[in-house]
Structure 1
Amino acid sequence: MNGYPWGAFGHGIGLAALAALAVMLVTFAIAVARGLHRIVDIAWGIGFTAVAVTGYAVSAGQGDDARRLLVTVLTAVWGLRLAVHIARRGRGHGEDARYEAMLDKAPGNRNLYALRMVYLLQGLLVVLVSLPVQAAQYIPGGLGPVAFAGCALWLVGLLFEAVGDAQLARFKADPANKGRIMDRGLWSWTRHPNYFGDFCVWWGLFLIVCDDPVVAAATLVSPLVMSCLLVGGSGKRLLERHMARRPGFAEYAARTSGFFPFPPRQGGLKETEKPQDAQ
């Protein structure tokens, strides 16, 4: 497609960055007041929602209205569902062990270190990963087949996240499952249905800009970065490093796909094994 408004897109990125920064700074202030930095995880989904809504507002009259509304709604639905889920999951709990360990090594003021290494870094990642959402706001042409395929992939991802989270929540709420590894439902097909869901959501949103190959090439870095975070960054790799110490996890890992969902391989936990925690 010709005539893409790169200047307006660049201006929109700047405003999106300010929106993400505002979300992170407000969250930081609340976290310091409560002495609980784990609430930054709630801000992750809210930050993406703020960026998408900001992009929609400032791109009025620039791109195709259907595409603008579509990427905004899809991003907001994903982001707000994730924020609500994390808020409910963390209710009544203390500091996250990941942040506690990191802040114990802080050179100087713990809060200022958290601001630099957690809040501002997450804000930067929100802006970077959301580039396809921002770019889609300015594509003038109508939705094509690839964009609709992106919507389908987004839906698959959202279902994997929502269903996987609900299954795990029900499993952990049952006292009979205390100290057991969750290996049921989607968790028997992949060890990380929520991370796989994120993967599908962001590749789906990227496909919505692929009607314009030039814009797609310019924003390809975004789903690649998200994929690296999910598989090799703070997602799968970090969680499994922690889980590997738990009895029964090796057997679970041996029969269950590490990321992409596949039918479980033959085998199971032995009756004599008593894992000491769930995911």
Structure 2
Amino acid sequence: MADYDWAALARSLPFTALAVVVVLGTTFLVALRVGKQAVVDVAWGLGFVAIALVSFLASAGEGDDVRRWLLLVLTAVWGCRLAWHIWRRSRGKGEDPRYAELMAKAPGNPQLYALRTVYLTQGAIMWFVSLPVQVGSFETSGTSWLVWVGVAVWAVGLFFEAGGDYQLDRFRNDPASKGQVLDTGLWRYTRHPNYFGDACVWWGLSLIAFSAWPGILTLLSPVLMTWLLAKGTGKPLLEKDMASRRPGYVDYVNRTSGFFPLPPKSRTPGEDRG
């Protein structure tokens, strides 16, 4: 406990916050130029990468090098893949309906409203969720078995997230799937393999930080991320009007777990496991 350099961590925190401001501030300017706020979704993963990079540089000579490199590389792989996927998916398309609805209801200047409600909120969440990466980068004790458990959980998460995204892209690009519900592959076991994978990624990174003091103090960070994905702005928002757009979605909900992968129920209608 005495080996942890709290002062070095404290000195780095304003710079990680500044990294968030730079990433999201630049994104806001891009959004104004292209005329759609959906570009902020691309910045979500990149913001975490920026925080991890600043923490890595600030902790040079302070934290355990293996842990520092793991936290940087694993965060960068996840964040860059997610940003690339969202950019490719949204390229050439108009505003996301979620943001269009938000802007339509904005009191006063819609751009300033988006800045307050989307960018500032997202920036605060991003900085808080990334605390395991920030704190873990300064931990001095060597790696333990929990570090490698964290790497394994991260790998499971990336498999579900990237695999789910790939399967959904193929489904959407198939003309025969129009109006249908994707219920094969990973989507057979959970209605949101990408959200489940996202949660696992952050639990994996957090376990790497939890392997040494004071990483466990950041427990609420992965808890918040999981809650947002499963109960907050993730799954509930996406499913809000899905039944009206996909006739078979109600049956899919009745037989498929809402978040954690589970064997599907029989096709007899029943209670939702989500």
Residue 268 (structure 1) shift: 8.0
| 1:122 and 2:122 aligned | yes
Native 8 Å contact 1:12 1:55 kept in 2: yes
Give the structure 2 partner of residue 146 of structure 1. Answer: 146
Amino acid at match of 1:238: L
Residue 53 (structure 1) shift: 0.5
Aligned equivalents of 2:31 and 2:76: distance in 1? 23
Residue 123 (structure 1) shift: 1.1
Native 8 Å contact 2:135 2:214 kept in 1: no
Aligned equivalents of 1:242 and 1:151: distance in 2? 36
Residue 259 (structure 1) shift: 0.5
Percent of paired sites with the same residue: 53
Give the structure 1 partner of residue 239 of structure 2. Answer: 240
Query: Equivalent residues in 2 for 1:13-32 (5 A)?
Result: 13-32=13-32
Per the alignment, in what secondary structure is the counterpart of residue 208 of structure 1?
A: helix
Native 8 Å contact 1:149 1:207 kept in 2: yes
- Where in structure 1 do 4 or more consecutive aligned residues deviate above 6 Å? none
Aligned equivalents of 1:164 and 1:66: distance in 2? 30
Amino acid at match of 1:258: G
Give the structure 2 partner of residue 272 of structure 1. Answer: none
Give the structure 2 partner of residue 258 of structure 1. Answer: 258
Native 8 Å contact 1:13 1:127 kept in 2: no
Query: Equivalent residues in 2 for 1:100-139 (5 A)?
Result: 100-139=100-139
Native 8 Å contact 2:255 2:265 kept in 1: yes
Native 8 Å contact 1:252 1:268 kept in 2: no
Aligned equivalents of 1:75 and 1:166: distance in 2? 20
| 1:224 and 2:213 aligned | no
Spell out, residue by residue over 1:43-82, the C-alpha distance to the aligned partner (whole angstroms, 9 max, x if none): 0000000000011111111101111011000000000000
Query: Equivalent residues in 2 for 1:69-108 (5 A)?
Result: 69-108=69-108
Amino acid at match of 1:78: W
Q: TM-score, normalised by structure 1?
A: 0.93
Amino acid at match of 1:140: T
Structure 1 unmatched ranges of 5 or more = 270-279
Aligned equivalents of 2:254 and 2:262: distance in 1? 13
Aligned equivalents of 2:189 and 2:24: distance in 1? 35
Give the structure 2 partner of residue 4 of structure 1. Answer: 4
**Alignment length (residue pairs):** 268
Native 8 Å contact 1:63 1:139 kept in 2: yes
Q: TM-score, normalised by structure 2?
A: 0.95
Amino acid at match of 2:209: V
Residue 213 (structure 1) shift: 4.4
- Alignment RMSD, CA only? 1.3
Amino acid at match of 1:46: L
Residue 199 (structure 1) shift: 0.8
Structure 2 unmatched ranges of 5 or more = 270-274
Give the structure 1 partner of residue 33 of structure 2. Answer: 33
Spell out, residue by residue over 1:189-245, the C-alpha distance to the aligned partner (whole angstroms, 9 max, x if none): 0000000001100011110011224331x2111001101110111101111122133
Give the structure 1 partner of residue 174 of structure 2. Answer: 174
Per the alignment, in what secondary structure is the counterpart of residue 253 of structure 1?
A: helix
Aligned equivalents of 1:53 and 1:213: distance in 2? 21
Aligned equivalents of 2:175 and 2:214: distance in 1? 53
Deviates more, 1:142-151 or 1:235-244: 235-244
